[in-house]
Chains A and B, each alone.
Chain A
Amino acid sequence: MIITNIWGKKMSSKEIAKERLQVILVYDRAKIEPKMIESLKEDLIKAVSKYLTFEPDNMRIELSQEDNKSILRIDIPLKE
Chain B
Amino acid sequence: MGKSIVITSGKGGVGKTTAVANIGTGLAMRGLKVALVDTDIGLRNLDLLLGLENRIVYNIVDVVEGKCSLKQALVKDKRLNNLYLLPAAQTKEKEAVSIDQMKEVINDLKIEFDYVIIDSPAGIEHGFKSAISGADEAIVITTPEVSSVRDADRVIGLLEAYGLRDPRLIINRVRFDMVRNGEMLGVDDLLDILSIELLGIIPEDENLIISVNKGEPIIYSGNKYKSALAFNLIVKRLLGEDVSWDELEKSESFIEKIFKIFKG
Interface of A is mostly: helix
CB of B222 closer than 8 Å to a CB of A? no
Whose C-beta in chain A lies nearest to the C-beta of B188?
A18
Q: How far is the CB of B124 from chain A (nearest CB, A)?
A: 13
* Residues of chain B within 8 A of A28, CB atoms compared: 150, 153-154
Those of A18-58 within 8 Å (CB) of chain B: 18, 20-22, 24-25, 28-29
* Residues of chain B within 8 A of A20, CB atoms compared: 146
Query: Do the beta carbons of A17 and B153 come within 8 Å of each other?
Result: no
Query: Do the beta carbons of B193 and A15 come within 8 Å of each other?
Result: no
Q: How far is the CB of B40 from chain A (nearest CB, A)?
A: 25
Per-residue A-contact encoding for B176-210, CB less than 8 Å = 1, 0 else = 00010111111001001100000000000000000
Contact of B193 among A1, A12, A13, A18 (CB under 8 A): A18
Contact of A14 among B153, B154, B179 (CB under 8 A): B179
* Contacts A25-B193, A28-B153; A12 near B146 (Cβ below 8 A): no
* Contacts A25-B150, A29-B153; A18 near B189 (Cβ below 8 A): yes
Q: Given the complex of chains A and B, what is the CA–CA distance between A13 and B186 in angstroms?
A: 12
Q: Given the complex of chains A and B, what is the CA–CA distance between A17 and B189 in angstroms?
A: 10
Number of A residues, CB within 8 Å of B: 14
Chain B, interface size category, equals 10 to 19
Whose C-beta in chain B lies nearest to the C-beta of A25?
B153
CB of B157 closer than 8 Å to a CB of A? yes
Q: Given the complex of chains A and B, what is the CA–CA distance between A1 and B183 in angstroms?
A: 8
Residue of A14, A20, A24, A25 most packed against chain B (CB within 10 A): A14
Tally the A-B contacts, defined by beta carbons under 8 Å: 38
Query: Do the beta carbons of A13 and B146 come within 8 Å of each other?
Result: no
* Contacts A21-B149, A24-B150, A28-B150; A14 near B157 (Cβ below 8 A): no
Q: How far is the CB of A18 from chain B (nearest CB, A)?
A: 5
* Contacts A20-B146, A25-B153, A29-B153; A13 near B189 (Cβ below 8 A): no
Contact of B182 among A12, A21, A24 (CB under 8 A): A12
Contact of B183 among A12, A18, A24 (CB under 8 A): A12
Those of B90-115 within 8 Å (CB) of chain A: none
* Contacts A12-B182, A14-B182; A21 near B154 (Cβ below 8 A): no
Query: Do the beta carbons of B183 and A14 come within 8 Å of each other?
Result: yes
Those of B114-167 within 8 Å (CB) of chain A: 145-146, 149-150, 153-154, 157
Q: Given the complex of chains A and B, what is the CA–CA distance between A28 and B182 in angstroms?
A: 26
| Chain B residues engaging chain A, CB cutoff 8 angstroms | 145-146, 149-150, 153-154, 157, 179, 181-186, 189, 192-193
Listed by A's residue number, 7 A-B pairs whose Cβ atoms lie within 8 Å are: A13-B183, A17-B185, A18-B193, A21-B146, A21-B149, A28-B150, A29-B153
- 4 tightest A-B contacts by CB? A12-B182, A14-B182, A18-B189, A17-B146
